């Protein structure tokens, strides 16, 4: 599997560290309530198919990326800098 880092170009999967669903960027407001925080911290889907995950180009430029891929076909659609998506 290869991921095209927006900084470095196409690199082997070994250079990347996987964090999890990019849902982690959608942080609830501080006063959103226990239900919203519980959901944010613990609830994740486990889809067969399209995913949108956070990866770090750990052994490369160190940037955090949002990688869109398909767990059924193994296609990697695209990778974007996480900082561009979320302030």
Partner 1 sequence: MAKLIALTPCAGLLPVSSGGVEVAEVVFDRLMSVSPFAGQERAVSAKLKEQVGAGLSKINRRSGLVTWFGHGTWIVAGDVALGGMAAVTDQSDAWAAVSISGARATDVLARLVPIDLGASGFKTNHVAKTMLGHMSVTITRVGPDAFEIIVMRSMARTLVHDLDVAMRGVAAR
Provide, rounded to whole angstroms, the least separation between the CB of residue 10 and partner 1: 9
Only one residue has tokens 């960027």, namely 25
Q: Which stretch binds partner 1 (CB under 8 A): 28-36, 47-55, 56-64, 66-74?
A: 56-64
Query: If you write DSSP's letter for every residue of 16-52 in order, what string do you get?
Result: -EEEEEGGGGSPPPTTS-HHHHHHHHH-----SSEEE
The answer to whether residue 12 forms part of the interface with partner 1 (CB under 8 A) is yes
What are the φ and ψ backbone dihedral angles of 33, each rounded to 5 degrees?
Answer: 100, 160
Toward partner 1, which CB reaches closer, 25 or 59? 59
63 belongs to the binding site for partner 1 (CB under 8 A): yes
**Contact residues: partner 1, CB under 8 A:** 7-8, 11-12, 14-15, 57-63, 81
């Amino acid at each position: 599997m290869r991921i095209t880092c927006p900084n470095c170009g196409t690199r082997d999967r070994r250079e990347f560290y996987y964090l999890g669903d990019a849902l982690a960027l959608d942080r609830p407001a501080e006063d959103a309530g226990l239900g919203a925080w519980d959901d944010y911290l613990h609830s994740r889907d486990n889809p067969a198919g399209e995913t949108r995950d956070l990866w770090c180009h750990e052994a490369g430029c160190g940037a955090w990326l949002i990688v869109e891929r398909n767990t059924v076909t193994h296609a990697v659609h695209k990778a974007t800098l996480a900082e561009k998506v979320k302030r």
